[in-house]
Structure 1
Amino acid sequence: MSPSPVAPASKSIPAAHWRAFLRAWLSDPLRTAAMSPSGPQLARLMVAQVPRGNGPIIELGAGTGVFTEALLAAGVAPERLLVVELNRGLHGLLRQRFPQVRVECADACCVLDLAARCGIACGSADAVVSGLGLLSMPRLAVTQVIEASSRLLGSQGRLVQFTYGPLSPVPRALAARLGLRARRAGFAWRNMPPASVYTYSKDAVRAPSA
């Protein structure tokens, strides 16, 4: 069962975002796994891990658009973004906030097919930026999302994921099977609740399978 939303602790998150988040949580608490909208410190830390490039960037579980806004503020061109959000209410909010960005209402588990329909080829994405609550998702769903993200990433691409837990949210065995190298990029202690950011990149030095 998902935890109850945390009450606002900072004016840095607009009240409208809290209301939208609360409506999403009340409509489907099991799917809205985050405890609150992500704060600006976490957003900056997440976006700082995105490699410089001109390839597509896919955002999963965009919520109220905190990471989307930070990506655009960092200079990412809107046409490079594919934003995915399953909750219909939040999807509508994202469409209103970012009319220049492609925002799709879809399950992140289906991102591979969705990316193909949007013209994003496997091996072409600079980054997958994930706001999904992996720790609360079924193991099969986590496997599907991480496998799809790995296939979408280019050779220098990164999967950027945050977690409230003390360890990497991507199971070690899964990362090893996919040849993903995990790195703890930082800790957003001012976020509510505090969160760690991890990056996962393709391990170019791993010996190929026989």
Structure 2
Amino acid sequence: MDRNPHSALAQTWTFFRQWLKNPRGVAAISPSSQQLARQMMSELPRGARRVIELGGGTGVFTRALLEHGIAPADLLVLELNEELHQHLQRHFPQVHVACADARDLARVAIAHGFHGETPADAIVSGLGLLSMPRQTQRDILGSAFDCLQPQGRFVQFTYGPANPVAREVIEELGLNARRGSFTWWNVPPATVYVYSRRVSRAIKPRSMR
């Protein structure tokens, strides 16, 4: 994994080019900062081994997860943008990388062995949930928790201080939402949120659509 300045500049340009093509689909104008990546990693459950990443982008969180100790074979990354998907495949050839919509996570997870008896310990998300319709949020989070073990965590960042997931979605899925750390050193500044199941109200598995 190349960490030289030229590689970082190339990643920034790759990300910015995709933002120019689709500013609503790509939530930021530059990749996430290393500080934000560290804050996201700090919210992983202790001893987390299997992780799913949503919205891999240029691989800032992917690289951080590998450096955190997640084995490539135990990491599944979804990226809907085809150019960014190809970028991830080139730079992380041993990681499971899928070009797919996060709403289809359950199907993708089954195909890559991250479902059923081998669920993920955590999901790290770089998706722009704040700008998504409520039903899309519900579909993504519902599918995500179908792939998590009972004590698993969904770790999300958002721009600004507000919870990016609608209160109605949190209540419908029976989740707890906890605000984590905030960093000014991201463009734009970002806040980390952590979602988990309520112990007293476990989510029933949804039938596959």
Q: Would you call these one fold, judging by a TM-score over 0.5? A: yes
| C-alpha deviation, 1:178, in angstroms | 1.3
Say whether 1:43 aligns with 2:23. no
Q: Corresponding residue for 2:98? A: 104
User: For 2:160, what is the secondary structure of its paired residue?
Assistant: coil
What amino acid does structure 2 have at the position aligned with 1:93?
H
Q: Corresponding residue for 1:5? A: none
| C-alpha deviation, 1:179, in angstroms | 1.6
The equivalent position to 2:76 in structure 1, one of 59, 78, 82, is 82
What amino acid does structure 2 have at the position aligned with 1:199?
V
| Alpha carbons of structure 1 residues 110 and 206: separation in structure 2 relative to 1, 3 Å | closer
Distance 2:109 2:194 in 1: 21
Once the two structures are overlaid, the 10-residue window that deviates more, 64-73 or 141-150, is 141-150
What amino acid does structure 1 have at the position aligned with 2:185?
R
Q: Corresponding residue for 2:114? A: 120
Q: Corresponding residue for 2:128? A: 133
Distance 1:199 1:165 in 2: 15
Q: Corresponding residue for 1:3? A: none
The equivalent position to 1:21 in structure 2, one of 15, 21, 27, is 15
Q: Deviations along 1:47-80, whole A, 9 cap, x unmatched?
A: 1111133542110001000000000011111111
Give the CA RMSD over aligned residues.
Answer: 2.1
Structure 1 unmatched ranges of 5 or more:
1-10
Say whether 1:190 aligns with 2:185. yes
| C-alpha deviation, 1:173, in angstroms | 1.8
Q: How many residues end up aligned between the 2 structures?
A: 199
CA contact (8 A) 1:12 1:40 kept: no
The equivalent position to 2:138 in structure 1, one of 137, 143, 160, is 143
The equivalent position to 2:151 in structure 1, one of 156, 160, 165, is 156
The equivalent position to 1:169 in structure 2, one of 164, 173, 190, is 164
| Alpha carbons of structure 1 residues 122 and 28: separation in structure 2 relative to 1, 3 Å | farther
Once the two structures are overlaid, the 10-residue window that deviates more, 31-40 or 21-30, is 21-30
Distance 1:69 1:125 in 2: 18
CA contact (8 A) 2:48 2:122 kept: no
CA contact (8 A) 2:52 2:122 kept: yes
User: For 1:14, what is the secondary structure of its paired residue?
Assistant: helix
Distance 1:117 1:101 in 2: 14
Distance 1:121 1:105 in 2: 18
Structure 2 unmatched ranges of 5 or more:
205-209
CA contact (8 A) 1:122 1:153 kept: no
Distance 2:143 2:130 in 1: 18
Distance 1:207 1:175 in 2: 13
Once the two structures are overlaid, the 10-residue window that deviates more, 139-148 or 85-94, is 139-148
